[in-house]
Structure 1
């Protein structure tokens, strides 16, 4: 038989190679296309449909108690029950405007009543607080979250979860009873990665009915404006009059996205409280700093020397200078942060926790990682929670009254300040080493890379609560999960066809 022409054989081989190449490309591209399509977030969706329900080894969910089930309690019903007249009543008007930070930059910022930070809200324990938020000119809408205050869920201020963002010309009223003595702060939870960075925030101080024992009460809210740290809205040194021999309770608030070193030069100090909870039997600290987590607060007790020499409370680029009127404590190049760090795992003395952590009702794992993939159609290396990328992060399900223990591990390559809304957690162990100091109750916990924590909390505040990284760009990029109570629902929605973008 005549042989096939060489040109014919070459053409056939070329076609085979082309088909093989196309098949290989489809093998690669079809799964990628499916992953891309599966990652797309709907134009409008409920937070209750995100991720898998994790019951933490507890009782299986009863019919009718699944998230979104008919007959559940809507978050709008979880309000402050007391309708009496408010003891503390504040109106905060949000604006987008140009501001000049004294001693610092001029920038376009978000303000409350014309300033950033906004007014400090002060209340006494048990006061009924009412805050009216008015949006005069914040273009994307706004809201107020009460960071560290375990308010009723309807008052949590998370756009798309507990309310709609307040549009220009709109207003929203928040009401809660200030039952937690301590240092807290408020900030926007609508486009938070932008609005908080640009200044839509302020301090909240709740004092005991009997006062703070004669200490001078000093607020030190720290914030980076265009990369330059300011305290109480001023860059550089901020003088605070404290008489010689008197003690000040200095309430430091880290409103930024990273750890802030805090230390005292010119005197010893005590760590009196962490995230609003007093430390049991604090001891004097000298030659060490507090590594304050993003979103975290620490109260320091500092005594001004009887000589009247000023004391500096340093915050890594800015400082409060405490002393009699006219005193000064100039910074010098030698005033660098100490290398030692106050270890809150061992600081202070033990005390009863008030809950049984050995026999919890729920056990959860919150494992933070990172891997290639798609989030809402965007390719990249994205954060994961328990191996899942947004919006597949878990919903940790509890029933009211449960004691829950959570194991947090971070293998993502970066540190993450983890913040659970509506609750405080107590640290049981770090890297497997049990806590031996004062009970370390916190709501803003810095979890370093390759670090683990075991924490516990009581599910005593029904609702739908964010549990997210408070490095706010990380939250925007998907490092967000939720704590959900059985039988609680929300009518609010997220997505591009809604006004709500909480992160």
Structure 2
């Protein structure tokens, strides 16, 4: 079976469904903790035409249940591991207390099968975030272990019925429309663009119907939880405005022409007010445009006034005049990238790296080591200038902090937005700046998860 665009539309149109994520479905125990369980389960990813896929799920849901809290609220989650291998939970994008960051082997021990771990932290910033497994992530996340984490503003301007999550997942299915589990950990994926799928779901459903109301403002929270796939979107085709990136509300709504890329782990919030009832496609722009969801606009009555945005989060501004400036050189990978590693290594050393499954380096170092990439004083401004000296794109994520993207391709950006994950194309330089104000040990890694597992992961410490 060829899972191309034509077969996607044929199967998905035959089985359109409304994609919903359970809200507030985490059962609270008597001591105030919400229970989150990692379990084995299954779901039909290829609509009714495909067989059930073996998945790993949170609370037997795809995606995991929505955790929705208010800004400044305390989050208490009791995580229970019912899988056959160790795991942990990372709260992506939250400026969290380091002990709660969920990185197995760095901030906590991995949660063993049958064991539990209590996460207890305060969410300082409103916005769109998510949670996912952070032990052997290349294997656990693309099996289904992820879910949305929404932090509401204290005075949210969007009503609950117009605030909609769209969790976008890229899957690799076999000829029977079932998740291809035999290819997890493939060396080809690790050394190339990562684990790319051939099927897309929204909130666990193929080509779902998303219900909107005519003449009302809606907030569409797009979350890319794919293992490696960069998604090409075109908000202007819907008349939508970008209002937030990676959880951080913009100072004003932004009309963005052309294609907007949403890399793995990135989020983008859109504001949309349909002006007529009917069915409108939400399209992917990779190659020829194709619909991955249908917006069903109903004539529900009522009309909203001008668009209002939530308040902007208060983040510490970098002091570029007194900053620690550091390089982040990316090397390795296929398509000739491994040759660059031979500048400082012998042929035998490079061959040994490949045998060990280490295909990528940061600043000449492959994978995690005992020494940090750098130490920062608390409150110190850090400027990282990355150069992608490889043949592939990468999505670089920094834990525990948000940063401003200052330059791309050597040119200052018009909008130096706050992000927690930035995209870099082959041979491109990107300069970012942040205040290292969160004490502890923090990861820097590529969110093409196979790349992280095969060398593109390091750490720094704020002391």
In which range does the TM-score fall when normalised by the shorter chain?
0.7 to 0.9
Select which of 143, 149, 153 maps to 2:98.
Answer: 153
Deviation, 1:315, is 4.1
For 2:137, the equivalent position in structure 1 comes to 192
- Structure 1 residues 132, 375: closer, same or farther in 2, change over 3 A? farther
1:41-80 superposed matches below 5 A? none
- Structure 1 residues 427, 352: closer, same or farther in 2, change over 3 A? farther
**TM-score between both structures, scaled by the size of structure 1:** 0.69
For 1:144, the equivalent position in structure 2 comes to 89
CA distance in 1, matches of 2:86, 2:58: 14
SS in 2 for 1:196: helix
CA distance in 2, matches of 1:294, 1:165: 23
Deviation, 1:321, is 2.6
- Structure 1 residues 426, 269: closer, same or farther in 2, change over 3 A? same
For 2:273, the equivalent position in structure 1 comes to 303
1:240-251 superposed matches below 5 A? 240-251=210-221
For 1:97, the equivalent position in structure 2 comes to 41
CA distance in 2, matches of 1:210, 1:377: 53
Matched, 1:204 2:173: no
Select which of 164, 170, 174 maps to 2:115.
Answer: 170
Matched, 1:263 2:234: yes
- Structure 1 residues 119, 391: closer, same or farther in 2, change over 3 A? closer
For 1:360, the equivalent position in structure 2 comes to 322
- Structure 1 residues 450, 352: closer, same or farther in 2, change over 3 A? farther
Cα distance per residue 1:255-301 (max 9 Å; x no partner): 11121112347631111000011122223345x22101111000011
CA distance in 1, matches of 2:31, 2:80: 20
Deviation, 1:359, is 1.6
8 Å Cα contact 2:202/2:293 also seen in 1? yes
Greater relative contact order: 1 or 2 (C-alpha under 8 angstroms, separation 6 or more)? 1
SS in 2 for 1:281: strand
Deviation, 1:352, is 11
**TM-score between both structures, scaled by the size of structure 2:** 0.75
CA distance in 2, matches of 1:143, 1:191: 9
CA distance in 2, matches of 1:320, 1:178: 31
CA distance in 1, matches of 2:352, 2:367: 6
Which has the larger Rg? 1
SS in 1 for 2:359: strand
Deviation, 1:476, is 0.6
- Structure 1 residues 267, 273: closer, same or farther in 2, change over 3 A? same
CA distance in 1, matches of 2:265, 2:116: 26
For 2:462, the equivalent position in structure 1 comes to 485
SS in 2 for 1:359: helix
Deviation, 1:247, is 1.7
Gaps of 5+ in 2: 1-28, 173-196, 301-312, 333-340, 343-349
SS in 1 for 2:64: coil
Matched, 1:222 2:168: yes
For 2:397, the equivalent position in structure 1 comes to 419
- Structure 1 residues 377, 319: closer, same or farther in 2, change over 3 A? closer
For 1:231, the equivalent position in structure 2 comes to 202
- Structure 1 residues 110, 315: closer, same or farther in 2, change over 3 A? farther
Deviation, 1:420, is 0.5
Matched, 1:182 2:151: no
Q: Which moved more, 1:293-302 or 1:256-265?
A: 256-265
CA distance in 1, matches of 2:410, 2:260: 22
For 1:130, the equivalent position in structure 2 comes to 76
Matched, 1:397 2:344: no
CA distance in 2, matches of 1:105, 1:442: 38
- Structure 1 residues 263, 411: closer, same or farther in 2, change over 3 A? same
Select which of 118, 125, 130 maps to 2:64.
Answer: 118
- Structure 1 residues 118, 352: closer, same or farther in 2, change over 3 A? closer
1:6-21 superposed matches below 5 A? none
CA distance in 1, matches of 2:382, 2:78: 34
Aligned-residue Cα RMSD (Å) equals 2.7
8 Å Cα contact 2:39/2:58 also seen in 1? yes
8 Å Cα contact 2:358/2:455 also seen in 1? no
Q: Which moved more, 1:428-437 or 1:185-194?
A: 428-437
Gaps of 5+ in 1: 1-84, 328-350, 487-503
8 Å Cα contact 1:221/1:255 also seen in 2? yes
CA distance in 1, matches of 2:440, 2:366: 23
- Structure 1 residues 323, 265: closer, same or farther in 2, change over 3 A? farther
- Structure 1 residues 126, 217: closer, same or farther in 2, change over 3 A? same
